[in-house]
Structure 1
Amino acid sequence: MPDKDHMQDRDIDLATRLTQDHHQSLKLWLRMLSCTTRIENEIRTRLRATFGITLPRFDLMAQLERHPDGLRMGELSKRMMVTGGNITGITDQLEQEKLVVRVPDPKDRRAYSVMLTPAGRRAFSDMAAVHEGWVADLLKDIPPEDKGTLIELLSQMKQHLNAADDKTT
């Protein structure tokens, strides 16, 4: 067990390293996480109740909707920030429902691209319209000017984070 003086030294050291900005940054991070989690959980519940679909399946379809020529499995994994195994499982489910199709990659016969089927495009279009309404409803009490400010501030944060990533790679 550490002696009392050692623990006191450690506490003083920690206190001297922490600034008001440390506390404020942590508070900001936790507030953003809390808001994101609450919205995500509500969307997840509504997607399942209304369309019988999971949020990851919806997200995969959203990625494919933005890329009509399809995306390779590895690219989907990277964009969705999940493992290749997760992408395979989600794709298998959507393929069984005839919402996506795997197409051999003409440049690499070992690889496949995943594309929305016409039925998948129609289903996603219907879900996306309802989804957008849900998000608008969840954020309706935030004045438009505050939304604009939040978008600008979060855009700046993203730029700073990207710049920090560029420095470490």
Structure 2
Amino acid sequence: MVNPEPDSKSRLRLWLRLLKTSRGIEATLRERLRVEFNSTLPRFDVMAALMRHEDGLRMSELAGGLKVSNGNVTGIIERLVEDDMVERVAVKGDRRATKVRLTRGGKVHFEKLAEAHEAWIDELLSAFAPEDADYLSAQLQSVEDQTHD
């Protein structure tokens, strides 16, 4: 009698498939942002974080929210400031501190990026019916919750 394969093998294959798929989607997004908007995924991520915070964020808050170092976002912010997408604003009560926030033009530009990004994701994951996507998302959330205990 042949021993059945342990459940762990199925889960290992699932992990490898998720990883490969995620990397493939990310590569496609990077390429489309580069070709269609002359932009990068890290730049998109920074703008998305700033879009969620109308009053802006300190660099440390931005880096912490993106789970990267301050150094990683500094260069991106510098280029966004040069492109008039982001501005620096003083923090009341702290002369040494500044926040960064999207300019009006930055918000308009990001809305175009976000619309394209959503359409690309919709296209790339079109094999999933909405209810299947919701179910899978909930399952993955439960895994994420376990990894943050």
Which residue number corresponds to residue 98 of structure 1? 84
User: 2:46 pairs with 18, 43, 60, which one?
Assistant: 60
Distance 2:113 2:57 in 1: 20
TM-score normalised to structure 2 length: 0.90
Give structure 2 stretches of 5+ with no counterpart. Answer: none
Distance 1:76 1:21, change over 3 A: farther
- List structure 1 segments (4+ residues) > 6 angstroms apart after TM superposition: none
1:108-160 Cα deviation digits (max 9, x unpaired): 32222110000000000111111111110111122223212101101111222
Which residue number corresponds to residue 130 of structure 1? 116
Shift of 1:20: 3.3
Distance 1:74 1:107 in 2: 18
> Which structure is richer in relative contact order (CA contacts within 8 A, separation 6 or more)?
2
Give structure 1 stretches of 5+ with no counterpart. Answer: 1-18, 165-169
1:10-30 Cα deviation digits (max 9, x unpaired): xxxxxxxxx935444433332
1:3-58 Cα deviation digits (max 9, x unpaired): xxxxxxxxxxxxxxxx9354444333322211111111101100010111111001
Which residue number corresponds to residue 35 of structure 1? 21
Instruction: Give % identity.
Output: 43
Which residue number corresponds to residue 99 of structure 2? 113
Distance 1:113 1:132 in 2: 28
The secondary structure found in structure 2 opposite 1:39 is: helix
Distance 1:24 1:112 in 2: 50
Aligned CA RMSD, in angstroms, stands at: 1.6
Distance 1:104 1:22 in 2: 53
Distance 1:32 1:107 in 2: 47
TM-score normalised to structure 1 length: 0.80
